[in-house]
Amino acid sequence: MTERRELAIEVPVLARVEGEGALELSIRDGHIEALRLNIYEPPRLFEKLLEGRSYEEVPDAVARICGICPVAYQMSAVRAIESAFAKEVTPWIAAMRRLFYCGEWIESHALHIHLLAAPDFFGLNSVLELAEKQPEAVRRGLALQALGNEIIRFLGARSVHPVGARPGGFHRAPTRGEASALRDKLIAALPEAEALVRWCGALPLPEDHQDFECVSVVEPGTYPMMGERIISSRGLDIAIAEFAEVFEERQVPHSTALHCLLRGEPYLVGPLARLNLHWSRLPEAVRKVAQATGVRWPSDNMYHSVVARAVEIHYALIEAIRLLEAYEETAAPWVPLTPREAEGCGATEAPRGLLWHQYRFDASGRVLRARIVPPTSQNQARIEADLVANLTAFGLEREEAALRQRAEQVIRNYDPCISCATHFLRLEVKRS
C-alpha cells in the first residue's frame, strides 16, 4: 500500500485577494491527482434579497455586492431593467455610463496592479514592502486609483457604492465646469498611465503559454464596456439573452461559488480576454504604447494580464477625456420608465470580466426572480485548469512554500473577487 503524507500550510492573514478561500492539492507519484479551489465563504443570497423589491431599488442594492466594482453591478442591472421595460436611453446617458465605467476600470485595475499583484514580481509580501523599493511606482498607482474614484464620484455622488445612477439614467447632470476641471486632471495624468504600461511590461513575468477560450461582450465600433452580444475567440456569437442557453453554471462540492462552463469547458473573461478579442479597436496611441512593451498581442500567457490591466487604464483615461471634451449639460439626465410584466438581461464588462444580470418583473415593476453571474464565477474553472498546468510546469517536487507562492500568483492573475462570487489562501498539500 502506498503511504500518503499530508501537509497543511497557512499563509499570512493578508493574502492579497478579495475574499477567503483555500487550495487543496493532492500529488501522487509526481502528478496532480486532485486540485480544488475551495470557496467556503457563506452564500450571500443577493438574488433572493432582491425578490419583492421595486426595480427602482435594484441598482443601489446590487452596488453593495462589491465595494471595488459597484459601477459594473449597477450598469448591468439598469440595462437589464431597461431591456425588460423596452426603453432606450439618450446618447447623453449612454456616453455618461461609459465615462462612469472608465472610472471603475481605472480604480480597480490600479488597485490590483499595485496593491495585489506587483509585490509578487519583486519577491515581496505586501505593497508596504513595495513602497520601500519602488516608492514612485506606488505613488503613481495610488494617484491613478484616486483619479478613477474621482470619475466615479463625478456621476455617482461618491466613489464607494455610488448612488448617482438610477434606472433610465442618472439622478443629476454635472455642470460643464465640473466636467472641464475633471478633464484637465485626466489629461495631466496621461504620462503617468503611459509610464505604468511600460513599468508593467518590464516586470519579470514568467513564460507560461496555455490554450484558452476568451469571452467578452462586443460593442459595435469601439472597445467594449457594454453590449448586446457575447463573442468568443472560438466563434461564439450570441445575444446576451441567450447566455443561459449556452453557458452552464454547475455547483461543485468544494465551493459555495458556482462554476460556469462554455460547451462544458472552462473559459476566460477579463482584461486579457478583452484585449485578445478587441485589440484592433483600441486607439492607435494605446496600441503603440502597448506594443513597445514587447508583449505580442493577442497573448496566451495569463501573466500578461497585469500588462493588459495597465493598457486598459491608459485606454480608459483617453476614452474619459474624449467623453468629457464633448460634454454638454442636459436638463434630462434620465428617461422615465413604465413598468410591465417582463424579463430583461444586461451584460457589461466589469474590471474582472463579463457580468450578466437577468430579472423578471411583475406588472408593477417588482422583482419576481433575479439571476447574477459574476466574472469570478466564470473564471473559477479556468483558474483550476491553469493551476494544474502551471504548477506541473513549475515543478511539483518543490517545497510547499514555493508551491503556495506560485499558486497565489496564478490566482492573482485573474484578480478574483471571491466574496462577489459567493476570503485566501490556505494551501493543503497531500503527497503520496
**What does the H/E/C string look like for 167-210?**
CCEECCCCCHHHHHHHHHHHHHHHHHHHHHHHHHHCCCCCCCEC
pLDDT of residue 346: 98
Beta bridge partners of 345: 358
Does residue 224 carry a pLDDT above 50?
A: yes
| Amino acid identity, position 330 | T
408 vs 310, more confident: 310
Q: What is the mean pLDDT of residues 201-213?
A: 95
Considering the chain, what is the average pLDDT of its residues? 90
pLDDT of residue 41: 62
Ranges of CATH 1.10.645.10 domains, the chain: 56-209+290-344+351-367
pLDDT of residue 23: 81
pLDDT of residue 4: 42
List pLDDT tens digits, range 55-64. Answer: 999 999 999 8
Q: What is the mean pLDDT of residues 372-378?
A: 91
Q: What is the mean pLDDT of residues 36-42?
A: 71
Cell of 253: 462540492
Residue 168: pLDDT band by 50, 70, 90 thresholds? very high
| Amino acid identity, position 194 | E
Cell of 316: 480608459
pLDDT of residue 24: 83
Q: What is the mean pLDDT of residues 47-60?
A: 95
Residue 15: pLDDT band by 50, 70, 90 thresholds? very low
Percentage, residues of the chain above pLDDT 70: 90
pLDDT of residue 283: 98
Does residue 101 carry a pLDDT above 90?
A: yes
Quote the pTM value.
0.92
Q: What is the mean pLDDT of residues 66-81?
A: 93
- Identity of the highest mean pLDDT range in 117-131, 141-155, 241-255: 141-155
By DSSP bridging, strand 426-431 and strand 22-28 are parallel
- Give 135: exposed, middle or buried? Use CB within 10 Å, 0-12, 13-18, 19+: exposed
Q: What is the CATH number of domain 56-209+290-344+351-367?
A: 1.10.645.10
CA distances from 191 to 113, 140, 144, 309, 398 (A): 17, 10, 11, 16, 42
Does residue 432 carry a pLDDT above 70?
A: no
Least confident of 105-114, 142-151, 410-419: 410-419
Least confident of 4-13, 35-44, 295-304, 372-381: 4-13
DSSP state of 34: E
Percentage, residues of the chain above pLDDT 90: 75
Least confident of 80-94, 209-223, 355-369, 398-412: 398-412
- The vertex-313 CA angle with 210 and 168, nearest 5°, equals 105
Residue 40: pLDDT band by 50, 70, 90 thresholds? low
pLDDT of residue 38: 77
Report the candidate in 33, 32, 28, 22 with the shortest Cα–Cα distance to residue 392. Answer: 32
Cell of 328: 454638454
Does residue 418 carry a pLDDT above 60?
A: no
Whether residue 147 is preceded by a cis peptide bond, meaning omega within 30 degrees of 0, is: no
Cell of 417: 473577487
Q: What is the mean pLDDT of residues 141-157?
A: 97
Strand ranges for 252-352 from DSSP E: 259-262, 342-350
Residue 378: pLDDT band by 50, 70, 90 thresholds? very high
